[in-house]
């Protein structure tokens, strides 16, 4: 069994968060350290630690996350100018909380995806 995360407590509303969307499958809430004017995290209501842990049984949840991301972008008035969706996976992918989540970022021109790469 995987260790529960802070996101699980947000989903159950045990920790206060600015929830912008919730249904039986997923929850969307504003990031407490936004990297853009609009920065919303979209998480499955069940604990899936990383993208590597996704199986065929999670197909409906992942598809639903993408559909709801576009609906939230529309509601937040960033769909016309554009937005970015990011899923980080494990340490080298900069994943900090091991509960699968999509970052929805927008509200300004975001610039290049990667600003620096370290040479080996």
DSSP 3-state of 31: coil
Q: Are strands 26-30 and 83-86 parallel, antiparallel or unpaired?
A: unpaired
Would residue 101 show up in a list of annotated catalytic residues for this protein?
yes
Q: Which has the closest alpha carbon to 28: 107, 102, 85, 105?
A: 102
**Chain centroid, CA 91 distance in Å:** 16
Strand blocks (E) in 14-75: 19-22, 26-30, 38-44
How far apart CA 7 and CA 96 sit, in angstroms, is: 12
Q: How far is CA 106 from the centre of its chain?
A: 13
Instruction: Please pick, among 58, 64, 101, 103, the residue that the annotation labels catalytic.
Output: 101
Residues with a catalytic annotation lie at 101
């Amino acid at each position: 069994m995987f260790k529960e995360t802070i996101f699980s407590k947000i989903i159950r509303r045990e920790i206060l968060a600015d929830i912008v969307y919730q249904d039986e499958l997923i929850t969307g809430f504003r990031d407490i350290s936004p990297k853009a004017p609009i920065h919303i995290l979209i998480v499955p209501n069940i604990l899936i630690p990383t993208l590597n842990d996704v199986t065929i049984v999670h197909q409906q949840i992942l598809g639903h996350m993408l559909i709801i991301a576009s609906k939230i972008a529309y509601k937040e008035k960033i769909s016309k100018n554009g937005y970015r969706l990011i899923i980080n996976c494990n340490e080298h992918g900069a994943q900090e909380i091991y509960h699968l989540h999509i970052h929805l970022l927008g509200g300004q021109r975001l610039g290049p995806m990667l600003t620096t790469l370290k040479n080996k």
